[in-house]
Amino acid sequence: MDYLRAGTGARIRLKALLGLFLCVLTLFLGPVGCNTEIAVDTPKPVVKAWVPCRGKSMLPNFPEYSYVQFEFGIPFEMLKEGDTVIFWDYKRSETALTHHRLVQKQGDAWIAKGDNNEFSDKSWVTKDNYIARGTGIWLKTLESPQ
């Protein structure tokens, strides 16, 4: 995996944009941690961040108050059945972010469902409302995620 090797000015601007993004995300989801890995071997840079899991819809695989690692910047076209994603769930509310699993492809959209939910989501995941793909889980311990 290649890492961003731009000049100092470009790195500072990228870190400022990342900081602003994480601040906005924190308003919706609570505390967010971010490691410094920024890959550029995809069409746009990929940023990995740890996001707290809230609610019971993803039990037992994602316990409440665990942290999920997400990759921001993974193209929508690279998603596959079984991936977990964060997406804007406009049918729930204007500001609802949802973390659920992709269960079935329907044309240019995905049907998503919480692992602990009986029914799939009313909002489908599309290129317009998709935010990030889940890549790992960290159960709360005394050690921080790496």
Give the mean model confidence (pLDDT) for residues 95-107: 94
Q: How far apart are CA 30 and CA 14, in angstroms?
A: 22
Question: Residue range 39-58: average pLDDT?
Answer: 76
The CATH architecture one would assign to domain 8-138 is Ribbon (2.10)
Rounded Cα–Cα distance for residues 40 and 2 (Å): 6
Residue indicated by tokens 């699993």: 101
% of the chain surpassing 90 pLDDT: 40
- Residue whose pair of structure tokens reads 């500001």 in the numeric block: 95
- Which pLDDT does position 142 carry in this prediction? 43
- Reported as a single tens digit per residue, the pLDDT across 51-95 is 888 889 999 998 888 888 999 989 999 999 999 999 998 888 877
Q: Are 100 and 111 in contact (CB under 8 A)?
A: no
Q: 49-52 contacts: CB < 8 A, separation 24 or more?
A: 49/22, 49/25, 49/132, 50/138, 50/145, 51/25, 51/86, 51/99
Q: Which pLDDT value is given to residue 93?
A: 80
- Mean pLDDT of all residues belonging to the chain: 76
Lowest mean pLDDT among 31-35, 49-53, 89-93, 122-126: 31-35
Work out the number of other CB atoms within 10 angstroms of the CB of residue 17: 12
